[in-house]
Amino acid sequence: MTSDSVPGSWRHYEAAALPGPLTAALELFAERGYEGASIREIAARAGLSVPGLYHHYPSKQALLVGITRVIMADLLDRSRRALAEAGPSPREQFDAVVESLLRFHMFRREQAFVASTEMRSMEPEIRAEYVGMRDEQQRILDAIVESGVDDGSFRTPYPGDASRAVTTMCVAVATWYRPDGPLTPDELVERYLEVARGSVGAG
């Protein structure tokens, strides 16, 4: 396991390639929250006039939607590729998807934090879309854990609860991880994989 992966790998992260207005909105939403950030401030940080910003994104809600769609598409893509490249056993698949979740919430922590905390600010239709994508991610891990219980790889009597607990643990990394912290990304992945395996009763 290494974060020194080739470009294109699900383990490889470069700076997020968001359009300027979305980058500006993301920064301000992370600093002040959705309600605390004004369209005028977002436009200024993006180097645009307010009418210029509205030409691309007709509302602050549209900016939040743009951010969350990009984030969730990236998360799901990485999880699917991790699963596809893993071995055939539930244990190998579990390790790959959990590692993908952990790395995403380390290297895309600001984006993940904004999407999670600002779900409260989404209009109902957009919130439903976001929750649907989040549930799709959860179902990937649920299916792996259920398969592992079926073939005896995992011993948890509560596969659904264990799977959700593992996902919650991975998502929470976005709230506290810092690149200059005491653990390297690989060390954090190794440590948290042990915790995750314990949660599902991996042998």
Encoded tokens for 1: 């396991």
For the residues 166-189, what does the mean pLDDT come to? Answer: 94
User: Terminal CA-to-CA distance of the chain, rounded, Å?
Assistant: 20
Its pTM stands at: 0.92
Between 2 and 101, name the one with better pLDDT. Answer: 101
pLDDT 10s digits, 7-60? 789 999 988 789 999 999 999 999 999 999 999 999 999 999 999 999 999 999
Q: What is the pLDDT of residue 161?
A: 97
The residues near 128 (Cβ < 8 Å, ≥ 6 apart) are: none
- Fold observed for domain 60-200: Tetracycline Repressor; domain 2 (1.10.357)
Q: How crowded is the C-beta side of 8, counted as CA atoms within 13 Å? A: 2
pLDDT 10s digits, 73-118? 999 999 999 999 999 999 999 999 999 999 999 999 999 999 989 9
Q: What is the pLDDT of residue 5?
A: 61
Q: Tell me the domain boundaries of the chain.
A: 17-58, 60-200
- Rounded to whole angstroms, how far apart are CA atoms 195 and 188? 11
- Residue 36 is given by DSSP the state T
For the residues 141-163, what does the mean pLDDT come to? Answer: 97
Pick 17-58's CATH classification: 1.10.1040.50, 1.10.540.10, 3.40.50.300, 1.10.10.60. 1.10.10.60
